[in-house]
């Protein structure tokens, strides 16, 4: 393998490692914020953000395992499991984030709230 290709692969591995560490830190940050929050809506948003960060981290781990090391069946299985878990976390996090964002104004401005016109019924 030419030296330029080895340097490029080494650089790419280092960048992926740095991105994995950043995603881990972001996931930990949102996990701490989730556990300290008392508001159910904010807890849901923090959990969704944590799932998104964790999904990205798992996908980066899978890319690293599947493409940058010697090939073995155990590595393939582990990489595939990481891809599936990462996609699930990413999908669930994006879905839940949208749900909790839309839920934000519905508690205070509910159409079923009592109004003075109908006598509070």
Q: What confidence tens digit (pLDDT) does each residue in 26-49 have? A: 999 999 999 999 999 999 999 999
For 82-121, write each residue's pLDDT tens digit: 999 999 999 999 999 999 999 876 544 444 444 455 555 4
The pTM for the full model equals: 0.80
Q: Is-contact 49 99, C-beta < 8 A? A: no
Q: Is-contact 83 62, C-beta < 8 A? A: yes
Q: Which two tokens stand for residue 47?
A: 């959990």
- For residues 73 and 56, what is the distance between their CA atoms, to the nearest angstrom? 23
Question: Which residue matches tokens 């807890």?
Answer: 43
pLDDT bracket for residue 77 (50, 70, 90) = very high
DSSP 73-94: HHHHHHHHHHHHHHHHHHHHHH
């Amino acid at each position: 393998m030419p030296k330029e290709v080895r340097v490029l692969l080494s650089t790419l591995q280092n960048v992926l490692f740095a991105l994995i560490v950043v995603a881990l830190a972001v996931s930990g940050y949102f996990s701490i914020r989730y556990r300290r929050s008392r508001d159910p809506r904010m807890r849901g948003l923090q959990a969704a953000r944590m799932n998104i960060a964790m999904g990205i981290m798992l996908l980066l781990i899978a890319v690293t395992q599947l493409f940058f090391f010697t090939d073995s069946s155990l590595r393939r299985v582990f990489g595939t499991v990481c891809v599936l878990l990462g996609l699930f976390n990413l999908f669930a996090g994006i879905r839940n984030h949208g749900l909790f964002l839309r839920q934000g104004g519905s508690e205070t401005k509910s159409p079923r709230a009592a109004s003075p016109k109908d006598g509070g019924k």
